[in-house]
Amino acid sequence: MTPSHSRFIQVRGLRYHLREWGGGADAARTLVMLHGWMDVSASFQFVVDALDRDWRVVAPDWRGFGLSDRAAGDCYWYPDYLADLELILDDVVGSEPAWLVGHSMGGNVALMYAGARPQRVGAVVNLEGFGLRPTHPEQAPGRYAQWIDQLKQGGALRDYASQDEVAARLRKNNPRLSGERAAFLAQNWSQPDGQGRYRVAGDPAHRIVNPTLYRIDEVLACWRSVECPVLWVRAAQTDVLRHVGADPDAALREVEARKASLRNVESAVVEDAGHMLHHDQPAEVARLIDDFARRCAGVSKP
């Protein structure tokens, strides 16, 4: 297993955790990996193990996840991830265009940021970051009411008797996950609560619904402003399409239409993998990243 080390930086008043692999004399390029919702930076360990060795890889724990500070408020706001990413890149790559790999929520953040700051991004690998269902203004009153109700109740996450129980839960959620990988993830996905049990390494406030509606037109406007090459990766057995639409076939057509808004995009499908494709087929995901980087070498500076 490729060893990693941790360091912490200040980002907008929060102590942010960065996990880093490589970075020695042989590291010619930097890759910034962005994890998804209710996940942590260590989730990319298996992909890093399979990557070419000339990468320096840096993965933050987003605010309120892993070892990063929790926000001071009682809920989280999506645009904060874009602003946080800007300051992380200032530290990690300076003025150089960044290579971003994002999974799920991290993929959505990467693409929106690349549209808002096209000069800051050299390439994006989007792993299952396809967005959410379109909304309409008539949903606003109900959404605000739901948000207020959840604020009054507070967010909640279940706890576990042991890290073995955490690993068993991870394998129940993803039957493709091996026992060894589940045990590793459990060590990073959970934390002792000081009372003999283990809690998820995330702020329960992440469970509170966002009061603002998901505006797909604004998202696609950002995607149309992306100038760098994009590798769009979908798992063959993904279940994330349910977040785009109720009918799987219609949801897949919607996802493909969204992808078409990107100027310079190529696609790949990872077989025998679900939404957590970086756990299910890490070697294939690493191969796709490495091959994409080689193809883009003359297009965008890695």
Residue 104 scores a pLDDT above 80 = yes
Q: For residue 292, what pLDDT is reported?
A: 97
What are the tens digits of pLDDT across the range 213-255?
999 999 999 999 999 999 999 999 999 999 999 899 999 999 9
What are the tens digits of pLDDT across the range 128-155?
999 999 999 999 999 999 999 999 999 9
What are the tens digits of pLDDT across the range 246-280?
899 999 999 999 999 999 999 999 999 999 999 99
Q: How confident is the model at residue 297 (pLDDT cuts 50, 70, 90)?
A: confident
Q: How confident is the model at residue 24 (pLDDT cuts 50, 70, 90)?
A: low
Domain coordinates in residue numbering, the chain: 4-134+214-296
Q: For residue 27, what pLDDT is reported?
A: 63
Give the 3-state DSSP-derived string for the chain, with helices as H, strands as E and coil as C.
CCCEEEEEEEECCEEEEEEEECCCCCCCEEEEEECCCCCCHHHHHHHHHHCCCCEEEEEECCCCECCCCCCCCCCCCCHHHHHHHHHHHHHHCCCCCEEEEEECHHHHHHHHHHHHCHHHEEEEEEECCCCCCCCCHHHHHHHHHHHHHHHHHCCCCCEECCHHHHHHHHHHHCCCCCHHHHHHHHHHHEEECCCCCEEECECHHHHCCCCCCCCHHHHHHHHHCCCCCEEEEEECCCCHHHHCCCCHHHHHHHHHHHHCCCCCEEEEEECCCCCCHHHHCHHHHHHHHHHHHHHHCCCCCC
Mean per-residue pLDDT of the chain: 94
Q: How confident is the model at residue 301 (pLDDT cuts 50, 70, 90)?
A: very low
Residue 188 scores a pLDDT above 60 = yes
Looking at domain 4-134+214-296, its CATH superfamily turns out to be: Alpha/Beta hydrolase fold, catalytic domain (3.40.50.1820)
Report the pLDDT averaged over residues 60-68.
98
